Structure 1
Amino acid sequence: MARPKKMTSENLMVIKSNDLIRKKKSALSARQQKIVLYLIAQIEPHDDDFKEYEFKMKDFCHLCGIRCCGKAYQEMWQEIENIADIAIKDVRLPNGWTTMLRWIEKPYYEEKKGIVRIRLDKDMKPFLLELKENFTRYELLNILCMKSKYSIRLYELICSAHYHELETYKNYFELEELRELLNVPEGTYPEFRSLKANVLDVAVQEIEEFTDKRVTYTVDRYGRTAVGVEMTISTKPTEERLQTYAKVDALLNGKTFPKEDKKK
């Protein structure tokens, strides 16, 4: 049984294959994404297999910015159970076969002690272990205060495109492609105005407020119809980045957590 790392900005790094980041069909909530990313951040560079980790439920509550209590523990366990049932569909394997993946194997919960045991699913190995190229690396701290699931998805997407921290990048997304990459459910926010207000603007604001990145976007239109967005991505200067992390650390360790909107 492996002990999880302590949650500090220095040692919790998320490293994922870019192919996994750009998979379009795995709709996790913000809270579920944080749980999965916390597990991924436990992986050591030399690991050639996934370990089973034993966590105190209060650590997961802290991770998601919710107060520790019996009700919260039960909610977190339900989230973990739901993660076990969510599949990533249409995954192309190196051998040419297409399959579906699950994030975690069967989890275990000892309710009296508030302890959870979880292991990442073995089929995730090619996307998370011993990565030598085509991967993205970022500090888990960047996403922990985000309330919207779309903010976390957009942050990962722009990180996967921002290869050199000292440079400014532009990345163009066709509108329908971006909807799929962010896992916006079909029929949700059908008009660009609502997509902009409820997804893009919220995500950009949270990335600016809580992360090491700065992102702006312009709308590409065909006549009056929005058909795409061009995003400009850069890394904040060191002093500003440290100020952002200090704010995030204070939120995580204080009593004023951002309240998560479960609908987002």
Structure 2
Amino acid sequence: MKNNTLYCMIVSGDFMSDFDIKNKVVQSNDLIQLSKWNMSVVPFKIFKALISCIDTKKPPENNTVEISRKELGDLLEIKENDEYMKRQVKSLQKQIVELDLKNGNTMMLSIVPKVIYPAKQSNDNIQCTFSEELMPYLIDLKEFFLQYDVAALKKFKSKYGLILYEYLLSRERQERQSEHKYSISVENLRRLTDTETKFKNFKELNRKVISQAVVDINGAGVEFLAVAKNNGRRGVKATHIEFTLRKRTSYKETEFDVVDHPEWIRKSI
């Protein structure tokens, strides 16, 4: 979503970029909470950056957005490696997202069926076209949607951190629990993070997915910090994870229990 007050178009070659670092990533909560994200962190961040290029009040013609290689490289902190970036962008064409529908069915969704990547010597932008079926989850959203600064993508190191950041922030903004506690079943967490057949031992799942995601969120300088606990105990299998959130009071904070400005802790996230 473009910042309409500060947004400026960047001319690159014959085309204008739709990207600005002040843009917002805007998506429906259903897309965030009910999808199975089976892509690695770099394509996932590219996908979110492309979403931020959409003006939700004026959807792009042919569902196509543009971003320059420099803008994308700066956001992803990829320097002078055009072939790597090209492979990562093109990989979006192969990504199929599974979205659980409210009627019990599952929709298999190709998210970016068309990519035009400019020649190495060209100054043209990268052009990506979203699938028609995806657009209702990205435009004309009147309730139960999430928006956050696209600049937040820079600090995330893992897809698990970014997935759970979006999931937890969408629930916080939708539910507004007074104690900021949000529970998710292990089954649903595995679906969301595409780990249904990975890390079958819960201790491994906890270490490589849950704990890694919490560290990632807490180090990313985003709106909140988190801590996670599960309901498992000796002889009893963990079935749910409870995340507790608190407002970040300083960009320097990286630990849930170390608060720089306690007087701000009760402000809304």
TM-score by shorter chain over 0.5: yes
Matched residues in 1 for 2:144 and 2:58: separation?
Answer: 18
Q: Which residues of structure 1 form unaligned runs of 5+? A: 245-264
Aligned to 2:215: 205
Q: Which residues of structure 2 form unaligned runs of 5+? A: 1-14, 254-269
Aligned length: 233
Question: Which residue, 43, 48, 55 being the options, matches 1:37?
Answer: 48
Aligned to 1:157: 167
1:140–1:90 distance in 2 versus 1, CA, 3 Å: closer
Matched, 1:27 2:38: yes
Residue 40 of structure 1 aligns to which amino acid in structure 2?
I
Matched residues in 2 for 1:130 and 1:182: separation?
Answer: 27
C-alpha deviation, 1:122, in angstroms: 2.0
C-alpha deviation, 1:175, in angstroms: 1.2
* Alignment of structure 1 residues 136-155 onto 2, 5 Å: 136-155=146-165
Matched residues in 2 for 1:160 and 1:172: separation?
Answer: 13
Aligned to 1:193: 203
Matched residues in 1 for 2:75 and 2:172: separation?
Answer: 26
**More displaced stretch, 35-44 vs 139-148:** 139-148
The structure whose residues are more often helix, as a share, is 1
Matched residues in 2 for 1:157 and 1:146: separation?
Answer: 14
The structure, 1 or 2, with the larger RCO (C-alpha pairs under 8 Å, 6+ apart) is: 1
Matched residues in 1 for 2:179 and 2:122: separation?
Answer: 48
Matched residues in 1 for 2:216 and 2:16: separation?
Answer: 33
Matched residues in 1 for 2:34 and 2:88: separation?
Answer: 21
Question: Which residue, 245, 248, 252 being the options, matches 1:233?
Answer: 245
C-alpha deviation, 1:185, in angstroms: 4.9
C-alpha deviation, 1:38, in angstroms: 0.8
Aligned to 2:257: none
**Percent pairwise identity:** 23
Aligned to 2:85: 76
- TM-score, normalization by structure 2: 0.78
Matched residues in 2 for 1:177 and 1:93: separation?
Answer: 15
Root-mean-square deviation (CA, aligned residues, Å) is 2.5
- TM-score, normalization by structure 1: 0.79
